Amino acid sequence: MGKKQEPARNSTQRKYVKEVNRRAPRPPVLRNVILAFVTGGTVCVVGQAFTDFYAWLMDLTPQEAGNPAVATMILIGALLTGFGVFDKLAKVAGAGLAVPVTGFANSVVASALEFKKEGLVFGVGGKMFQLAGAVIVFGVVTAFIVGLISALLP
């Protein structure tokens, strides 16, 4: 991909843009990285706790217990979004909360809530996978290719 071409500017406009960039507040990168690491790790610890709990409760292998654990994490993410808590947590936690499966649940539920006024079919049904649809398609295609390669290799 090429570099995005900037619009033509006179010298005053270039000086202004340079000054704005110089005075713009810098994000606290180290703080954001640490918060993302801690919150993402916390989400993973909670997910592992659910996996261990389901393995113990239902006498499943850890691999089998992963499915209900993921479903539980999706449910928690969806409920937190529905109650308006997820966005408040995400403002503090950043990418650590948005990247795992909870972020996926948030994107689906937030889209559904945003377009519910347009009706169940064209609003909720049509728009809730607008953002998440690409993730689902990519996941399905990738799983198919990996499964095919796995089946063909001895």
The model's pLDDT over 95-123, given as tens digits with 9 standing for 90+, comes to 888 877 888 888 888 878 877 777 777 77
Find the helix or strand (DSSP H, E) in which 2 lies: none
The model's pLDDT over 52-65, given as tens digits with 9 standing for 90+, comes to 999 999 999 999 99
Please report, in angstroms and rounded to a whole number, the separation of the first and last CA atoms in the chain. 38
Interatomic CA distance for residues 119 and 126, integer angstroms:
9
Q: From the CB of residue 19, how many other CB atoms can be counted at a distance below 10 Å?
A: 10
Domain parsing of the chain, residue ranges: 29-152
Could you tell me if 68 and 50 are in contact, meaning their C-beta atoms sit under 8 angstroms apart?
yes
Half-sphere exposure of 97 (CA within 13 A, CB side): 20
Give the residue carrying structure tokens 């409920």. Answer: 79
pTM above 0.75, yes or no: no
Under DSSP, the state recorded for 123 is I
